[in-house]
Chain A
């Protein structure tokens, strides 16, 4: 149980295009999901907190107009990288907490590798 999926697992796009990444909690409801970015050989950096039915909360230095987050249901959050550029190439990971199980553990998706040409 407590599985989080991401789609796509990898994507290559041209500079200037937009890319949407989906994060789904498969067997639990997640009122809150988190989006992280990980550059090669670096740790995870939190980008934003996605709240179901309300606006996302972005970390300092993350452009909310560039990284659009929508959390329209209790099992789905999407991250759209708008007008992507090569510097946006990274590994994007989402996570969600399954608090109905009485645990503080966050469950992470398998990640999406974005390459912008």
Chain B
């Protein structure tokens, strides 16, 4: 059974810092991995999607890497801003044959001015 874990569970930093959020999954046989952002009481916004054959994806100040063999993904946020404050979730899609996503436990990020 695939399990997805994220560390740290919470993070509070001053703005301007570069951040690393970690995601681990127990079964390396995944189809893709996705990072989402969730603001309090809101739905999810997709940030980055990495296919199993890819090593990383970048969008603006965000960079996500994937090491499938070790069951890890990292979301790197450069020059953090207060507007980055949210919960970040990673999710794995376990195979091509299913759209089902298994979500991680989330990292609650607070960036203060």
Q: Is this pair of chains taken from one and the same complex?
A: yes
The answer for the CA separation of A29 and B32 in the assembled complex, in Å, is 22
Q: Which residues on the A side are within 8 Å of B103 (C-beta)?
A: 36, 43-46
Interface size class of B (residues with CB under 8 A): 20 to 34
Instruction: Select which of B34, B43, B49, B105 is within 8 A of A93 by beta carbon.
Output: B43
> Within 8 Å of chain A (Cβ to Cβ): is B93?
yes
- A-B interface pairs (CB < 8 A), number: 58
A6 CB contacts on chain B under 8 angstroms: 43
11 A-B pairs with C-beta separation under 8 A? A4-B43, A34-B99, A42-B106, A43-B105, A45-B103, A97-B99, A103-B49, A104-B32, A108-B36, A111-B42, A111-B43
Seen from chain A, the residues whose Cβ lies within 8 Å of a Cβ on chain B are 4, 6, 32, 34, 36, 41-46, 49, 91, 93, 95, 97, 103-111, 113
